[in-house]
Structure 1
Amino acid sequence: MDVHNAFLHGDLSEEVYMKLPPGFHSDKPGQGKVQINVLIYVDDLIISGNDSAALTAFKNYLSSCFHMKDLGVSKYFLGIEVARNSESIFLCQRKYTLDIISEIGLLGAKPANVPMEQNHKLSSSTSPFFTKVEQYRRLVGRLIYLAFTRPNLAYAVHILSQFLHEPRQDHWDAALRVVRYLKNNSVQGIILRAVSDLNISGWCDSDWASCPLTRRSVSG
């Protein structure tokens, strides 16, 4: 839902507060209970829940309080694209990914097979300092947000984030390699299946004392 708010274009002198609509109260979800979740970003809302009638009543109540527009089933929100069928929901950031590649100027560059070299020495780099610090921070920040639907970027982003204060040329080159890796598959994302046992499967590959600075394991 999209809220048409005039107060977004000026300063408020009034007290602003929110209260639950009649018949609603905050509670922990449990079996047989109606649950409604509201995600709010400025004047845009995503509303979900386990009871369609309750969702309709809730949206009608909000519409009676504010000038709102129901945009229907969520398809795009904050750079995240949503596709669905009866079996699953697919989340990806294809346009956001292409925007990153275009902004850096690597649309014509050769794709990389992996986001980061296996035995990199970024922590001990002595290359010249990268002078465009804000550009480095912006790129890494965008990659952090992209990792929401691309968990395969987690390790590379974790490494690059360590040098936000004083990045060197090697760190910038490594960040560009991640961008070239994105060219391999810009539509990769996460599938949320309708039927799932909700069990989390994890694994560990400890790399004993691999960090050259702390001599500790990075992945384990």
Structure 2
Amino acid sequence: MHDPRTLHLEAMYRILRYLKSALGKGILFSRYGHLKLEAYTDAKWVGSKVDRRSTSGYCTFMGGNLVTWRSKKQTAVSISSVEVKYRAMAHGVCELIWLKRLLNDLEITHESSMRLFCDNKAAINIAHNPVQHERTKHIKIDRFFIREKLDQNIICTLFVKSKDQLADVLTKALGFTVFHPLVCKLGMRDIHTPT
């Protein structure tokens, strides 16, 4: 906003063109017969060319339906992609815990562990490794937080292939051939499309 350029105007036009073509799109909620809580977390390392900060994002599902999502630039510059992914995992865990508490407030019990999907095996291994590593001291609080939730069986972490990472739409620019299938998996449907 403080230094607008032609690049920013082109990005705005791209967004407006997409919105114009997506007037009938919305999220369809379906009944899948369960209330499982799941989150997909992802991050784009050094996403901003201006300040080299990364963008993290997550999307959460309740009962197979998308209920919350978020994309945000991280507050600190990260020195590795694993660190960025791990911080995104911590945000996803926080959102899952909030949803579980919301269900408890509505007097709906949720006993099974919540599933957290990540496309970075190194970040998942750090979460499961109880040994403190010198390389992870800058993400120590996130590491202990996630480890505690794993030990309490509140969450379980699962690997998802990058091509199936639903949070990709929140963290990076994708081509139509990748973007459209992911948006469909998120539950977005066009009401003007014949059935």
Q: TM-score range by the shorter chain?
A: under 0.3
- Give TM-score, length-normalised by structure 2: 0.23
The structure carrying a bigger strand percent of its residues is 2
Structure ranking higher on relative contact order (CA contacts 8 Å, 6+ apart): 2
Task: Name whichever structure is richer in helix by fraction.
Answer: 2
Larger radius of gyration: 1
